[in-house]
Every structure is written in structure tokens, then in C-alpha cells.
């Protein structure tokens, strides 16, 4: 059973997270430009700390993440990360009511929008260091920690017909038991239902390979590929007439940009 909490608290947390990621990325790019002009960092020095920010695409949506770490040994780093990710069912198909020229498209059978917030700890193992003349550094990484699935119900405009009056379109929470596809005019406002958010706490595990192709040792430019597994004891309902999901697996590819440094 999911529980609702005050709307402003949830929205504030999500907005703060997104602003943090955007501002961090902006700070990195500004700093990277100045470093390109006056770079005096020797390339053969081991830098003990690092941070990175990036975006990802995965098999069921997209996401943003921030990661920070420090060296345990020359080839191993301890790291922590926070991540925001969307999630949609692979069974979602866009529909439209052709009986109305001004109808809005919608995903028939979709019960909830779903987002994930994740925070965890992990390690990154360098499999081969980048040669001094350049190339690609390959690392294996793994993370695990807390995840929170956030659901918001889908609202649609439902058609109500009358023999003596024009059709009425009333925005309602989607109910698959009473609303068939020919009863739907189109999707409702995204803001509708924000006071009915559901929360599904759980855990996640992630593993992948990181390919750092940056030309400077102190600047991170990497491509990461891997998979993420989420589990929630409170199942998540996404599509009508489909089982609720406690186990969710996604494959992802992400681009990460950041910096290595010594304090």
C-alpha cells in the first residue's frame, strides 16, 4: 500500500536534486574551460579524489546522476552516488481518439507515471590505466543502496455524451474498470494527481564498465554501460491488467564528466 505525503515537500526535494545536478555540471564546464587555458597539472601524478556528473539513457527511460569518490589503492576507488531516473513500461503505446480532430494523444492502460531516486555506495576497479600518450582507461564498477520509486496516477479527459447537449470532457483519474479506449478524449494535465503520489522504498544494485577517453588525467570524460536492478517490497503498478512489479531491471548507457584532484 502506497502512502501520500505533502506535495510541496516532495516537489521541493525533486527540484533541489535537479538544481544540484545542473549547477554542478555548469560549474564543471566553467572550470574546465579555464583549466584548458592554464593547465599545469602533471599527467603522471596520482590524484586521490574525483567527482563526476552525467546523464543516461536506459531501456525504460532516462536519468541524471552525480558521483564522488576517493582512492583506496592506486587501482581502486570508494565511491558514492545519487541518481534520478524515469521509468516507463515497455508495453506503453501511444493512442488517439480519431473521432475528435482536436483530441490529445495518451497511453491507453497506463495507470501511473514512475520515477526513481537512488542513493548508494560502491567501488570502481581500474582494469587498465590509460597509456601516457593517451587512449582509453577501462574500469569495472558496482554500487548498491537505497531506492525510492515515486508513482503519480494518470489523469485523462473522459467523454460524457448527452442526447440534448454537446459532448463534455471531464478530467478524471484513469479507471480501467469503467473507462474504455473509446471513452477517452485525451491525456489530462501532468499536474493533476500530484497530491496523490505513492512511495515505494526499496534497494538497488548496479554494475557496469566505464571507458574514460579524456585527454587530461585530471578531467573525466567517460562512457559508461551497465545494468541496474531495483527491488521494492511494495509492488509498483504501471499498466492495467498487468501484474504489479517488485523487480525491475534496466540496461543503461551514460556520459559522465568531472574532475580528479588532490586536496
pLDDT tens-digit profile of 214-258?
878 889 999 999 999 999 999 999 999 899 999 999 999 999 999
Q: Please check whether residue 185 lies inside any domain of the structure.
A: no
Helix (H, G, I), strand (E, B) or coil at 27: helix
Q: 66 with 23: CB under 8 angstroms?
A: no
What is d(CA 241, CA 176) in angstroms, rounded to the nearest whole number?
8
Q: Please check whether residue 179 lies inside any domain of the structure.
A: no
Q: Please check whether residue 96 lies inside any domain of the structure.
A: no
What is d(CA 153, CA 54) in angstroms, rounded to the nearest whole number?
29
What's the confidence (pLDDT) of residue 119? 97
Q: Please check whether residue 169 lies inside any domain of the structure.
A: no
Which of 12-21, 141-150, 168-177 has maximum average pLDDT? 141-150
What is d(CA 10, CA 31) in angstroms, rounded to the nearest whole number?
32
Q: Please check whether residue 56 lies inside any domain of the structure.
A: yes
- List Cα–Cα distances, 117 to 21, 88, 99, 120, 201, in angstroms: 13, 15, 40, 10, 10
Q: 99 with 174: CB under 8 angstroms?
A: no
Where in the sequence is the domain holding 117, given as residue range(s)? Answer: 7-88+111-149+196-234+242-261
Quickly list H helices, the chain: 7-37
State what percent of residues in the chain have pLDDT above 70.
81
Q: Please check whether residue 227 lies inside any domain of the structure.
A: yes
68: left (phi over 0), alpha (psi -120 to 50) or beta: beta
In the chain, the number of structural domains is: 1
Total residues belonging to the chain? 263
**Banded pLDDT at 162 (limits 50, 70, 90):** confident
Q: Please check whether residue 104 lies inside any domain of the structure.
A: no
Of residues 225, 216, 254, the one with CA closest to residue 132? 216
Q: Please check whether residue 66 lies inside any domain of the structure.
A: yes
Q: What is the CATH number of the domain that holds 78?
A: 2.40.160.20
Q: How far is CA 146 from its chain centroid?
A: 14
What is d(CA 227, CA 236) in angstroms, rounded to the nearest whole number?
20
pTM above 0.75, yes or no: yes
pLDDT higher than threshold 70 for residue 135: yes
Q: 139 with 125: CB under 8 angstroms?
A: yes
For 94-133, how does the pLDDT look when each residue is reduced to its tens digit (9 = 90+)?
A: 999 988 888 899 999 999 999 999 999 999 999 988 766 6
Amino acid at each position: 500500500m502506497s502512502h501520500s505525503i505533502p506535495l510541496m515537500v516532495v516537489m521541493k526535494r525533486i527540484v533541489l536534486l535537479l538544481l544540484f545536478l545542473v549547477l554542478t555540471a555548469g560549474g564543471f564546464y566553467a572550470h574546465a574551460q579555464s583549466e584548458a587555458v592554464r593547465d599545469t597539472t602533471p599527467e603522471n601524478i596520482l590524484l586521490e579524489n574525483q567527482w563526476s556528473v552525467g546523464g543516461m539513457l536506459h531501456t525504460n527511460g532516462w536519468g541524471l546522476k552525480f558521483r564522488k569518490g576517493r582512492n583506496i589503492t592506486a587501482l581502486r576507488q570508494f565511491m558514492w552516488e545519487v541518481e534520478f531516473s524515469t521509468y516507463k513500461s515497455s508495453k506503453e503505446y501511444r493512442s488517439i481518439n480519431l473521432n475528435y480532430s482536436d483530441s490529445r494523444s495518451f497511453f491507453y492502460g497506463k495507470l501511473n507515471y514512475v520515477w526513481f531516486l537512488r542513493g548508494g555506495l560502491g567501488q570502481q576497479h581500474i582494469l587498465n590505466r590509460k597509456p601516457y600518450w593517451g587512449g582509453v582507461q577501462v574500469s569495472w564498477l558496482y554500487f548498491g543502496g537505497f531506492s525510492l520509486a515515486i508513482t503519480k496516477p494518470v489523469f485523462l479527459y473522459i467523454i460524457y455524451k448527452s442526447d440534448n447537449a454537446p459532448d463534455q470532457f471531464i478530467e478524471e483519474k484513469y479507471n480501467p474498470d469503467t473507462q474504455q479506449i473509446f471513452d477517452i478524449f485525451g491525456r489530462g494535465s501532468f499536474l493533476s494527481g500530484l497530491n496523490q503520489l505513492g512511495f515505494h522504498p526499496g534497494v538497488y544494485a548496479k554494475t557496469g564498465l566505464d571507458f574514460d577517453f579524456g585527454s587530461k588525467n585530471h578531467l573525466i570524460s567517460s562512457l559508461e554501460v551497465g545494468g541496474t536492478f531495483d527491488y521494492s517490497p511494495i509492488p509498483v503498478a504501471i499498466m492495467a491488467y498487468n501484474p504489479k512489479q517488485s523487480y525491475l531491471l534496466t540496461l543503461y548507457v551514460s556520459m559522465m564528466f568531472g574532475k580528479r584532484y588532490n586536496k
